[in-house]
């Protein structure tokens, strides 16, 4: 976060040093992400870099920024999916990353958002799959999810898509919040509690590999719960946007075995109140060849953010600016 803040300060300082006129043209664009130890935050930072082009930057064709002229985008750490949907609806941020479940339920006013439709949210692009992790102390074992009854379990931050999904899945197995000691912490905090033996495990839906788990694996070690085939099918029936997935062996140094699990797509969303021309230029910048280099080199999940899957799993309307771009690409007829 400090490094990104320093970079942002340098960008702004450089832009302000050009001319007062150019400084006035600068537009800030906040992208809500998640906790620093998860995946939304670093990926959001990559996207912010890709779409930014502060006043005074060198031209794209001369090795400068290839984003939207005058735009300074920044990744903002938040409580992730549900929080980002709420913040975009309220106009507190301009865009955000969110899981497909929270996006669908928010837009339609169902589930977590029953009676509270977030009808301003629109999709810019589908990004990458997020695998559900159930992280446990080294040497721990569970025969099934039902064994979580009576244990100390992290369920993700309040306002996260993880929490929505986990509570619904556990309820299916007859486990309510009264049946276990629940904590609502971010990924870094939860990993520390696993390391210290203060909790028996925690859930987090996140793109792999998550920085917090890489660190935990190099210090205390940990185990990942392997969902049974029945549990995968049950989760999909309860939450159609979660599908069967596998975290391959050695994705984390501490985990030499394949981990059957479930996954949901993470998507980039904005508000219908954002100008169509601006979102068109942002979408165009996200998918230019220079952004491809940033995504491929910046994070392992960046490599799977591809134009060809930009519309995969999108269940609510695209922003008109993004839709215009995809029509030009022949992806929408």
Domain boundary among 249, 265, 281: 265
CA 277 from chain centre, in angstroms, equals 25
Q: Are residues 137 and 252 in the same domain?
A: yes
pLDDT value of residue 16: 44
Q: Are residues 149 and 243 in the same domain?
A: yes
Tokens 């030009």 belong to residue:
328
- Would residue 39 count as lying in a domain? yes
Angle 38-10-72 from CA coordinates, rounded to 5°:
65
List C-alpha distances in Å: 324 to 66, 117, 121, 273, 310.
20, 25, 17, 16, 13
pLDDT value of residue 64: 85
Q: Are residues 124 and 273 in the same domain?
A: yes
pLDDT value of residue 251: 96
pLDDT value of residue 7: 44
Q: Is the pTM of this model over 0.85?
A: no
Q: Are residues 199 and 246 in the same domain?
A: yes
Are 148 and 225 in contact by the 8 Å Cβ rule? The answer is no
Q: Are residues 195 and 148 in the same domain?
A: yes
Per-residue pLDDT of the chain (333 residues; tens, 9 = 90+): 434 443 444 444 444 444 444 444 899 999 999 998 899 999 999 999 999 999 988 888 888 889 999 999 999 999 999 999 999 999 999 999 999 989 999 999 998 899 999 999 999 999 999 999 999 999 999 999 999 999 999 999 987 889 989 999 999 999 999 999 999 999 999 999 999 999 999 999 999 999 999 999 999 999 999 999 999 999 999 988 888 999 999 999 999 999 999 999 999 999 999 999 999 999 999 999 999 999 999 999 999 999 999 998 899 999 999 999 999 999 998
pLDDT value of residue 15: 46
Q: Are residues 223 and 252 in the same domain?
A: yes
Q: Which residues contact 51 (CB under 8 A, 6 or more apart)?
A: 29, 67, 68, 71, 73, 282, 285, 286, 291
Q: Are residues 116 and 51 in the same domain?
A: yes
List C-alpha distances in Å: 84 to 28, 56, 118.
17, 31, 11
- Would residue 194 count as lying in a domain? yes
- Would residue 51 count as lying in a domain? yes
Q: Are residues 117 and 17 in the same domain?
A: yes
- Would residue 308 count as lying in a domain? yes
- Would residue 116 count as lying in a domain? yes
Which range of residues forms the domain containing residue 186?
131-265
Q: Are residues 195 and 213 in the same domain?
A: yes
Q: Are residues 135 and 224 in the same domain?
A: yes
Q: Are residues 19 and 118 in the same domain?
A: yes
pLDDT value of residue 240: 85
pLDDT value of residue 154: 98
- Please choose, from the candidates 262, 254, 250, 269, the residue with its C-alpha nearest in 3D space to the C-alpha of residue 314: 269
- Would residue 333 count as lying in a domain? no
- Would residue 261 count as lying in a domain? yes
- Would residue 314 count as lying in a domain? yes
Q: Are residues 137 and 257 in the same domain?
A: yes
Q: Which pairs with CB-CB distance under 8 Å and at least 24 residues apart come from 190-194?
A: 190/135, 190/154, 191/37, 191/135, 191/215, 191/216, 191/222, 193/154, 194/135, 194/136, 194/137, 194/220, 194/222
pLDDT value of residue 182: 97
Q: 181: domain CATH number?
A: 3.40.190.10
Q: What is the 3-state secondary structure (H, E, C) of the chain?
A: CHHHHHHHHHHHHHHHCCCHHHHHCCEEEEEECCCCCCCHHHHHHHHHHHHCCCCCCCCHHHCCCCCCCCEEEEEECCCCHHHHHHHHHCCCCCEEEEEHHHHHHHHHCCHHHCCCCCCCEEEEEEEEEEEEEEEEECCCCCCCHHHHCCCEEECCCCCCHHHHHHHHHHHHCCCCHHHCEEECCCHHHHHHHHHCCCCCEEEEEECCCCHHHHHHHHHCCEEECCCCHHHHHHHHHHCCCCEEEEECCCCCCCCCCCEEEEEEEEEEEEECCCCHHHHHHHHHHHCCHHHHHHHHHHCHHHHHCCHHHCCCCCCCCECHHHHHHHHHCCCCC
Domain boundary among 233, 265, 297: 265
Domain boundary among 216, 239, 265: 265
Say how many domains are in the chain.
2
In the numeric block, which tokens belong to residue 101?
Answer: 């479940």
């Amino acid at each position: 976060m400090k490094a990104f803040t320093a970079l942002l300060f340098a960008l702004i300082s450089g832009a302000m040093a050009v001319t007062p006129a150019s400084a006035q043209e600068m537009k800030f664009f906040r992208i809500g992400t998640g906790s620093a130890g998860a995946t939304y935050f670093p990926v959001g930072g990559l996207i912010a870099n890709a779409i930014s082009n502060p006043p005074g930057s060198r031209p794209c064709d001369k090795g400068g920024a290839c984003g939207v002229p005058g735009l300074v985008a920044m990744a903002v750490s938040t409580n992730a999916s549900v929080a980002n949907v709420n913040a975009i609806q309220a106009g507190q941020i301009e865009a955000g990353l969110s899981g497909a479940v929270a996006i669908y339920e928010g837009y339609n006013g169902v589930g977590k958002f029953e009676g509270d439709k977030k009808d301003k949210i629109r999709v810019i692009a589908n990004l990458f799959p997020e695998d559900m992790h159930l992280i446990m102390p080294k040497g721990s074992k569970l025969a099934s999810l039902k064994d979580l009854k009576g244990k100390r379990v992290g369920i993700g931050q309040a306002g996260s898509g993880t929490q929505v999904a986990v509570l619904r899945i556990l309820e299916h197995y007859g486990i309510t919040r009264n049946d276990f000691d629940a904590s609502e912490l971010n990924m870094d905090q939860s990993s520390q509690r696993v390391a210290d033996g203060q909790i028996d495990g925690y859930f987090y839906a996140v793109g792999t590999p998550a920085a917090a788990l890489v660190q935990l694996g190099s210090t205390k070690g940990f185990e990942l719960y392997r969902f049974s085939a029945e549990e995968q099918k049950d989760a999909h029936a309860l939450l159609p946007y979660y599908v069967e997935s596998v975290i391959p062996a050695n994705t984390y140094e501490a985990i030499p075995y394949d981990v059957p699990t479930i996954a949901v797509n993470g998507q980039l969303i904005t508000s219908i109140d954002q100008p169509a021309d601006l979102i068109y230029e942002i979408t165009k910048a996200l998918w230019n060849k220079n952004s491809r280099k940033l995504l491929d080199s910046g994070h392992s999940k960046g490599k799977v953010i591809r134009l060809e899957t930009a519309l995969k799993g999108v269940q609510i309307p695209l922003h008109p600016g993004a839709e215009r771009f995809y029509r030009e690409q022949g992806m929408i007829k």
